[in-house]
Amino acid sequence: MNLTGQHIAILGVGRSGRAAAALALREGATVSAWDSAGPEAFVGLPPSVEIHPFATEAQGGELRCDVLVVSPGIDTFGSYVAAFSTHAGEVIGEVELAARFYQGRIIGITGTNGKTTTTELVARILAHAGLGGNPCGNYGTPFAEVVLLANPPAYVSLELSSFQLETIRQLHPVAAIWLNFAPDHMDRYPTVEAYRAAKLRIFMNQTAADIAVIRAGENLPKTAARLITFSSEDPTADWFYNEKQILQGSVPWLDLEQETSLRGLHNAENTMAAMAVCETLGLSAHTIRDALQGYAPPAHRCELIRTLDGVEYLNDSKATNLHALESALRSQTRPVVLIAGGKEKGLDYSSLLPLLGAKALAVVTFGQIARPLSVLFSAAVNSEAVATLADAVAVARSLAPRGATVLLSPGTSSFDQFTGYEQRGNTFRDLVHQLR
């Protein structure tokens, strides 16, 4: 792709938009940046970028550009993007722009849950093997920032959200990971099928020379790539977790609990997906296992805080919705004392009752929705309502026998008592470390 002399318009000046602007400038383009925010959002952009704060749909309809690069935070199918697309030669996203100037190989990762942990695992293994593997995309660093490095890595571990996948055209993962699928982002997509179709675009440019690593039982359309399956439920999958070890076929590769700080069936599946991809690249079991020694998941995602008196304490504060809570609870292999609650968001938690009956010894609820949640959950399991997270930790400890797990997985946002899920998770971590 030759951008010399072309006009590239950046719609949305967050971090990915800024990275796209810098890359387009490097490649010889004339760049303009547009955002509905005020001038303060544009501070720090190179002076050669023409800025347009408080950008309106009317202005968008008048814009003429060779390429429009749309932020994933802006609805691709909404009227705002439609207006700016009127006279655009092509509409893509930042990851697509970056892919066109990246000379290495892409490991693409998508799924409703587990993307960030898997992206980190792939990156960790590839880095240990000396292959780069920089984590980027929906995970922290924009892909374009990696491409702008003086010496870009041989591989990238690219987390891809459905929003980013909507605007790919040529992006080609040599290995694509599909972790799982469940309804989400229904405020952006008209149907579950539309959300699923966006995610399936990860496979669209793959060939028979590529690899698709998928969770067994996902019932995906036929892909051109060679399939490799993983599962914590189906022992016939290529990779299987037997609630102790990860196996490739009948060969043990990793004892998850002894060799890492990862817990839960969902994290076992994340790990299998990462290992499967890296094995196809020719990395040995020894290299992969060595890279994963001592690995802990990202903070606030089923993060093992401590084991005290035979009880594990897991911080899943990032579970700010019902689906995330369900996933965390379903993945547990030990009896659970669940800590849930926070801000009232008008969610219906009744679908959790059968799962609580199967997985939980007790529930401790706290925060704004503590009492109604406790009343609901008591239909399935012993439930106690308290005021604060500190109270919840104390009560949960008293209810958890040796061999159990105390799981903070709130199932709602934290803004009734905290500034965000990070502060809530950090508070839980501090409280658990204070236990004696």
Residue 317 and residue 168 in one domain? no
Residue 146 and residue 106 in one domain? yes
Write the CB contacts of 394 (distance below 8 Å, at least 6 apart in sequence): none
Distance CA 145, CA 149 (A): 7
DSSP state of 203: G
In a domain, 57, yes or no: yes
Beta strands, E only, 18-130 = 30-34, 50-52, 64-65, 67-70, 87-88, 91-93, 105-110
For residue 234, pLDDT beyond 90: yes
Residue 137 and residue 73 in one domain? no
For residue 296, pLDDT beyond 80: no
CATH number at residue 251: 3.40.1190.10
DSSP state of 221: P
Which residue range(s) make up the domain with 43?
Answer: 7-89
Distance CA 244, CA 333 (A): 10
Residue 16 and residue 102 in one domain? no
Angle at 323 between CA 177 and CA 360, to 5 degrees: 115
Question: For position 184, what pLDDT does the model report?
Answer: 66
Q: Which of 63, 89, 115 is the last residue of a domain?
A: 89
Write the CB contacts of 23 (distance below 8 Å, at least 6 apart in sequence): 97, 98, 101, 144, 147, 148
What CA–CA distances, in Å, run from 399 to 8, 290, 403?
60, 37, 12
In a domain, 183, yes or no: yes
Residue 248 and residue 149 in one domain? yes
What mean pLDDT is predicted for residues 129-145? 94
115 is catalytic: yes
Question: For position 320, what pLDDT does the model report?
Answer: 86
In a domain, 297, yes or no: no
Average pLDDT for the chain: 94
Residue 263 and residue 313 in one domain? no
Distance CA 119, CA 355 (A): 28
- Cβ 305 vs Cβ 314: under 8 Å: yes
- Cβ 103 vs Cβ 262: under 8 Å: no
What pTM was estimated for this model as a whole?
Answer: 0.81
Question: For position 333, what pLDDT does the model report?
Answer: 84
Residue 359 and residue 246 in one domain? no
382 is catalytic: no
In a domain, 298, yes or no: no
Q: Which of 89, 115, 134 is the last residue of a domain?
A: 89
Q: Which of 292, 313, 347 is the last residue of a domain?
A: 292
270 is catalytic: no
Residue 71 and residue 120 in one domain? no
Dump pLDDT digits (tens) for 12-70.
999 999 999 999 999 999 999 999 999 999 998 999 999 999 999 999 999 999 999 99
Q: Which two tokens stand for residue 382?
A: 């012993």
In a domain, 345, yes or no: yes
Q: Which residue has the tokens 């399991």?
A: 381
Residue 159 and residue 273 in one domain? yes
In a domain, 1, yes or no: no
The active-site residue, picked from 7, 115, 199, 359, is 115
Residue 204 and residue 147 in one domain? yes
In a domain, 108, yes or no: yes
In the chain, % helix, strand, coil (3-state, to 5) comes to 35, 25, 40
Higher pLDDT, 329 or 345: 329
The active-site residue, picked from 185, 323, 343, 345, is 185
Lowest mean pLDDT among 21-30, 107-116, 159-168, 386-395: 107-116
Torsion of CA 297, 302, 307, 311, to 10 degrees: -160
Residue 343 and residue 247 in one domain? no
Q: Which two tokens stand for residue 343?
A: 């801000």
CATH number at residue 49: 3.40.50.720
Lowest mean pLDDT among 9-13, 187-191, 301-305, 389-393: 187-191
Residue 151 and residue 37 in one domain? no
Q: How many domains does the chain have?
A: 3
In a domain, 167, yes or no: yes
The active-site residue, picked from 7, 113, 134, 138, is 138
